[in-house]
């Protein structure tokens, strides 16, 4: 029989799939002997069953009742008992942490009678009514669907009336009155009364938590974080402990290390006389956790001990939630904490130093996306001048953008291509779309554990929070700092590493990590941590990493970044600029003589390009791709020409004959679908002399480099092959020219000849093609286009966001390789290619070569190397290492 409920004492962190992260970790803490209020977890399986059928699964109610009885016996109190009620929290908690995205309801079990009983047993009337009003508010909005803002308004109104600065200024009578107001509100909005039966409260709260899995903000968050939609959430039902019992009680959150930098130490926020939700919500200003040492030294010492226990046990940075009830410490949550990229590297290095984890575990805990973030530039603090305001450095990095004041505006402007900074007093889960759209988030309230800070860190957004000098006026769409008024649309710079805000666009400088890659400058701290991860990755990886580089400068940079060759050198970039005229002449040539003349003029220029690249990559392979794009890409635009000619005619002057000739050529060569037209190997086969010129330039460059004492390793790559016959014919031409240059120069020139695999037919006939190819390089951009039938230039803007919304794919197949479709073609081609030619060298040169997830795929598919843009080379090295773990 399926079992839907587990006591905290039965579970453990290995059951996170079933119990959710929160439930599994509550169980783990219980087993470790930490003070966790007793409770039980309703499984994600129960949630899935409920969401699938819309009905409570059979037996769930009975199981909950049984476990509740155990709780009641342990507590010596009963749910709903009027003179001494047991109160419960009902908490969501999915497999992957989704901070604040789903619902939690506190103080379940209070009604009009038991609130009086609670007042009596606690000897604190205000506390009892405060708890009751919290329950009615949370239950009303979460379970009964009343707009939460209505409760907030009622609360704010009452505070104003009483002249109370915050909720502590309200008396027991005020709060009792507020409960009445709330209940009235619920009745008006729903036509229903707030349920006076604690059993009904519990049952409905559990189901509401299930339902919150499909709430709008939870769905947005999952899409952003690529969390599957079908996992469901667990529900934790737990005995309440009370941080709102008076000044000797309180609630807090803490990290075992600084989640922004990874530095060891105690980081957190504490709020006296409050329930947990108040800490993150920014209702009152929290104090730094270190203040607790004075407020309650016993609890403080215990807390430090528990945190050490947790960090040693989890062997990682943990974050925790705790509550102190009249001097007694309770642990309410822990998990391996989210952190910035900087902290991830620093913590991995440090824990490895402490022998808490192995170097391989350290490598597993950092990632390429984080590394890429650390390579971004930072503000030049020596050149920025006076900061406009300071706040907490909550999520590092430098961002420049136009200030906007709500989520919708951020989304709207970002969609139009503008960079924006979202400015709020504090953020709530409803701001998520805006936070995703913005470069940075800036808030005037909240600590390092506020919603804005936690979510921004998780997403890698720059964030400064708690910038208290800012007076944010969302309605008027502006903020002020002293006399300075910053209207919506004004450019501001946000420094998430220093916690500073500047007016205007601050100047940027390279990051220290970038300097390490550029110059090998190894220094203490973060750079050393990154260097160690890189060394480890290089030590374990099987995949080689090359770069896509078309110029000697790019090749040299790539080499400094650790590239082991050039995987793609595009020759068509060498046809642009000044040389366009020569290419034009070649295309327009009336006869072989004219064409040869043009090609002869191009030859020395191409040769010089190749010499430079081969020199920069001396001793390492350089894969040079023969010309790929349709030739008319090198001619002027058809419309421009037509307009020019028409304008001349309208002025009654004779149009430039060259223009007329060009237009005729453009018209002749016009293709409806150039991506599928005369390009790649097809060009080589039909345009006489073109390939011969390119191969000669390569071969002569090799000769020259050899004579200069170098070790050039040029490889010649033929694009867009679909049939072995195409490659066979082209290859004969290549070999002919190589032989000719060898003979003329007396220097033997050997260049391996291979092909791109970028058409489905090439992958499907890879065994045949391998007979003529010494290497394969997957062109996954074209292979994705042709496998899906997507024209990349058109589809991304047209409908990809709809596809992402509908969950057809979680990321664009142009970003992360589509394993199921394109990936199958890759595997097939690798298998058949290697069967036909066991020493076939295989790489990939599409943009996927620098995408972390795709790198892992290429590793398992057995490729020899990935090739990516120079700046992604360190990312690919790191991920290739992680893939090999």
Contact footprint for ligand ADP (CB under 6 A): 37, 89, 91, 100, 104, 106, 238-241, 251, 275-277, 321, 323, 332-333
Nearest distance in Å: CB 457, Mg ion: 16
Q: In what order do the strands lie in the sheet with 471-473?
A: 471-473, 478-481, 484-487
Sequence-separated (6 or more) residues with CB below 8 Å from residue 731: 718, 753, 772
Would the annotation count 625 as a binding residue? yes
Nearest distance in Å: CB 272, ligand ADP: 14
Q: Which is nearer to ligand ADP, 275 or 777 (CB)?
A: 275
The one of Mg ion, ligand ADP, none whose footprint includes residue 104, by CB under 5 to 8 A per kind, is ligand ADP
Nearest distance in Å: CB 165, ligand ADP: 23
Answer for the pair 461, 395: CB distance below 8 angstroms, yes or no. yes
Burial label for 652, CB within 10 Å (0-12, 13-18, 19+), is: exposed
* CA-wise closest residue to 626 among 604, 610, 608: 610
The dihedral of CA 263, 266, 268, 269: what is its sign? negative
Is residue 445 classed as helix, strand or coil in its secondary structure?
A: coil
Is residue 645 classed as helix, strand or coil in its secondary structure?
A: helix
Residue 845 known to be catalytic: yes
The one of Mg ion, ligand ADP, none whose footprint includes residue 498, by CB under 5 to 8 A per kind, is none
DSSP bridge partners of 762? none
Q: Which is nearer to ligand ADP, 135 or 529 (CB)?
A: 135
Sequence-separated (6 or more) residues with CB below 8 Å from residue 168: 273, 284
Burial label for 9, CB within 10 Å (0-12, 13-18, 19+), is: middle
Residue showing the smallest CB distance to Mg ion in the complex = 782
The one of Mg ion, ligand ADP, none whose footprint includes residue 241, by CB under 5 to 8 A per kind, is ligand ADP
Residue showing the smallest CB distance to ligand ADP in the complex = 276
Would the annotation count 758 as a binding residue? yes
* Cα–chain center distance at 302: 36
Rounded distance between C-alpha atoms, residue 463 and residue 494, angstroms:
8
Which of the residues 465, 751, 845, 868 is marked catalytic? 845
Q: Which is nearer to ligand ADP, 276 or 813 (CB)?
A: 276
Contacts 24+ apart (CB under 8 A), 751-754: 751/698, 751/699, 751/702, 751/714, 751/715, 751/716, 752/715, 752/716, 752/841, 753/715, 753/716, 753/717, 753/718, 754/623, 754/715, 754/716, 754/717, 754/718, 754/841
Rounded distance between C-alpha atoms, residue 292 and residue 95, angstroms:
32
Q: Which is nearer to ligand ADP, 21 or 562 (CB)?
A: 21
Nearest distance in Å: CB 475, ligand ADP: 28
Kindly provide the b/e burial profile for residues 567-579, where b requires at least 16 CB atoms within 10 angstroms of the residue's own CB: bbbbbbebbeeee
Rounded distance between C-alpha atoms, residue 780 and residue 360, angstroms:
30
Answer for the pair 199, 115: CB distance below 8 angstroms, yes or no. no
Q: How far apart are the first and last CA of the chain?
A: 39
Would the annotation count 570 as a binding residue? yes
Would the annotation count 412 as a binding residue? no
Apex 496 CA angle, 491 and 499, nearest 5: 95
Residue 306 known to be catalytic: no
Q: List interacting residues with Mg ion (CB under 5 A).
A: 321, 333, 758, 779, 782
Rounded distance between C-alpha atoms, residue 773 and residue 753, angstroms:
6
The one of Mg ion, ligand ADP, none whose footprint includes residue 91, by CB under 5 to 8 A per kind, is ligand ADP
Would the annotation count 780 as a binding residue? yes
Q: Which is nearer to Mg ion, 256 or 439 (CB)?
A: 256
* Cα–chain center distance at 71: 41
The one of Mg ion, ligand ADP, none whose footprint includes residue 100, by CB under 5 to 8 A per kind, is ligand ADP
Which of the residues 451, 632, 848, 859 is marked catalytic? 451
Q: Which is nearer to ligand ADP, 98 or 341 (CB)?
A: 98
Answer for the pair 599, 690: CB distance below 8 angstroms, yes or no. yes
Q: Which is nearer to ligand ADP, 335 or 679 (CB)?
A: 335
Answer for the pair 91, 238: CB distance below 8 angstroms, yes or no. yes
Q: Which is nearer to ligand ADP, 328 or 827 (CB)?
A: 328
The one of Mg ion, ligand ADP, none whose footprint includes residue 340, by CB under 5 to 8 A per kind, is none
Q: Alpha carbon of 660 to those of 590, 636, 646: distances in Å?
A: 15, 12, 10
Rounded distance between C-alpha atoms, residue 303 and residue 309, angstroms:
10
Q: Which is nearer to ligand ADP, 142 or 490 (CB)?
A: 142
The one of ligand ADP, Mg ion, none whose footprint includes residue 548, by CB under 5 to 8 A per kind, is none
Nearest distance in Å: CB 280, ligand ADP: 7
Answer for the pair 619, 711: CB distance below 8 angstroms, yes or no. yes
Rounded distance between C-alpha atoms, residue 657 and residue 668, angstroms:
17
Nearest distance in Å: CB 122, ligand ADP: 14
Q: Which is nearer to ligand ADP, 100 or 722 (CB)?
A: 100
Burial label for 161, CB within 10 Å (0-12, 13-18, 19+), is: exposed
The one of Mg ion, ligand ADP, none whose footprint includes residue 240, by CB under 5 to 8 A per kind, is ligand ADP
The one of Mg ion, ligand ADP, none whose footprint includes residue 106, by CB under 5 to 8 A per kind, is ligand ADP
Structure token digits, residue 90: 């009902």
Nearest distance in Å: CB 106, ligand ADP: 6
Nearest distance in Å: CB 323, ligand ADP: 5
The one of Mg ion, ligand ADP, none whose footprint includes residue 758, by CB under 5 to 8 A per kind, is Mg ion
* CA-wise closest residue to 243 among 274, 271, 270: 274
Nearest distance in Å: CB 266, ligand ADP: 18
Nearest distance in Å: CB 333, Mg ion: 5
Residues identified as active-site: 451, 845
- Binding-site positions read 570, 625, 758, 779-782
- Binding-site positions for Mg(2+) read 758, 782
């Amino acid at each position: 029989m399926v079992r839907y409920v587990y006591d905290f004492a039965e579970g453990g962190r290995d059951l996170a799939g079933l119990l959710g992260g929160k439930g599994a970790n509550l169980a783990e803490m219980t087993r470790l002997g930490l003070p966790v209020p007793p409770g039980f977890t309703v499984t994600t399986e129960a949630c899935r069953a409920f969401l699938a059928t819309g009905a409570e699964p059979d037996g769930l109610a009975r199981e909950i009742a049984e476990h509740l009885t155990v709780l009641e016996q342990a507590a010596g109190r009963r749910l709903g008992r009027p003179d001494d009620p047991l109160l419960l929290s009902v908490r969501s908690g999915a497999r992957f942490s989704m901070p604040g995205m789903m619902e939690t309801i506190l103080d379940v079990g209070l009604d009009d009678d038991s609130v009086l009983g609670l007042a009596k047993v606690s000897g604190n009337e205000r506390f009892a009514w405060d708890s009751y009003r919290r329950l009615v508010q949370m239950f009303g909005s979460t379970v009964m669907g009343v707009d939460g803002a209505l409760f907030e308004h009622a609360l704010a109104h009452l505070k104003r009336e009483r002249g109370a600065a915050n909720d502590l200024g309200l008396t027991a009578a005020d709060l009792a009155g507020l409960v009445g107001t709330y209940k009235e509100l619920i009745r008006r909005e729903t036509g229903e009364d707030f349920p006076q039966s604690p059993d009904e409260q519990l049952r409905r709260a559990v189901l509401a938590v299930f339902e919150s899995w499909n709430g709008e903000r939870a769905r947005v968050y999952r899409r952003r974080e690529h969390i599957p939609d079908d996992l469901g959430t667990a529900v934790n039902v737990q005995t309440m402990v009370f941080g709102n019992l008076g000044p000797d009680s309180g609630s807090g959150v803490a990290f075992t290390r600084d989640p922004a930098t990874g530095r060891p130490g105690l980081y957190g926020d504490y709020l006296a006389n409050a329930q947990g939700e108040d800490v993150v919500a920014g209702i009152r200003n929290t104090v730094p956790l270190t203040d607790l040492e004075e407020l309650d030294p016993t609890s403080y010492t215990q807390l430090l001990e528990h945190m050490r226990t947790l960090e040693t046990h989890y062997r990682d940075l943990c974050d925790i939630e705790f509550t102190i009830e009249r001097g007694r410490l309770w642990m309410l949550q822990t998990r391996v904490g989210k952190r910035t990229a900087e902290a991830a590297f620093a913590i991995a290095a440090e824990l490895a130093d402490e022998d808490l984890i192995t170097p391989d575990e350290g490598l597993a805990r950092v990632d390429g996306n984080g590394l890429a973030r650390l390579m971004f530039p930072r503000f030049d603090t020596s050149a920025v001048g006076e900061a406009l305001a300071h706040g907490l450095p909550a999520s590092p990095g430098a961002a420049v953008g136009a200030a906007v004041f709500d989520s919708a505006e951020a989304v709207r402007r970002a969609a139009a291509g503008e960079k924006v900074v979202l400015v709020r007093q504090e953020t709530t889960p409803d701001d998520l779309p805006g936070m995703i759209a913005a470069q940075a988030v800036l808030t005037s309230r909240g600590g390092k554990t506020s919603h804005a800070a936690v979510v921004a860190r998780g997403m890698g957004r720059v964030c400064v929070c708690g910038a208290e000098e800012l007076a944010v006026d969302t309605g008027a769409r502006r903020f002020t700092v002293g006399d300075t008024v910053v209207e919506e649309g004004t450019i501001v710079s946000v420094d998430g590493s220093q916690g500073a805000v500047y007016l205007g666009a601050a100047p940027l400088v390279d990051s220290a990590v970038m300097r390490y890659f550029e110059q090998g400058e190894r220094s203490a701290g973060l750079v050393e941590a990154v260097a160690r991860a890189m060394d480890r990755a290089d030590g374990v990886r099987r995949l080689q990493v090359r770069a896509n580089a078309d110029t000697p400068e790019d090749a040299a940079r790539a080499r400094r970044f650790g590239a082991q060759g050039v995987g793609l050198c595009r020759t068509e970039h060498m046809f642009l600029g000044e040389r366009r005229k020569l290419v034009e002449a070649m295309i327009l040539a009336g006869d072989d003589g004219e064409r040869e003349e043009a090609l002869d003029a191009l030859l020395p220029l191409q040769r010089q390009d190749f010499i430079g690249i081969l020199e920069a990559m001396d001793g390492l392979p350089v894969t040079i791709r023969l010309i790929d794009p349709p030739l008319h890409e090198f001619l002027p635009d058809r419309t421009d020409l037509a307009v020019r000619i028409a304008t001349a005619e309208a002025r009654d002057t004779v149009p430039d004959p060259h223009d007329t000739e060009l237009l005729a050529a453009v018209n002749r060569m016009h293709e409806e679908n150039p991506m599928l037209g005369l390009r790649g190997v097809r060009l080589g086969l039909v345009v006489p002399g073109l390939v011969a010129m390119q191969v000669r330039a390569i071969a002569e460059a090799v000769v020259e480099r050899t004579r200069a004492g170098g070790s050039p390793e040029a490889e010649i790559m033929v694009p867009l092959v679909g049939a072995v016959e195409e490659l066979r014919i082209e290859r004969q031409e290549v070999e002919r020219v190589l032989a000719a240059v060898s003979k003329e120069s007396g220097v033997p020139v050997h260049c391996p000849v291979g092909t791109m695999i970028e058409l489905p037919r090439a992958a499907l006939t890879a065994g045949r093609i391998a007979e003529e190819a010494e290497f394969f390089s997957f062109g996954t951009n074209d292979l994705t286009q042709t496998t899906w039938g997507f024209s990349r230039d058109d589809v991304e803007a047209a409908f990809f966001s709809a596809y992402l919304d509908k969950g057809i794919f979680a990321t664009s197949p142009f970003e992360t390789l589509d394993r199921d479709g394109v990936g199958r073609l890759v595997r097939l081609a690798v298998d058949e290619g290697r069967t036909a030619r066991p020493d076939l060298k295989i790489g990939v040169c599409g943009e996927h070569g620098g995408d972390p997830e795709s790198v892992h795929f290429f590793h398992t598919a057995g490729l020899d190397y990935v090739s990516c843009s120079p700046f992604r080379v360190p990312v690919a090295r790191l991920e290739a290492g992680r893939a090999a773990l």
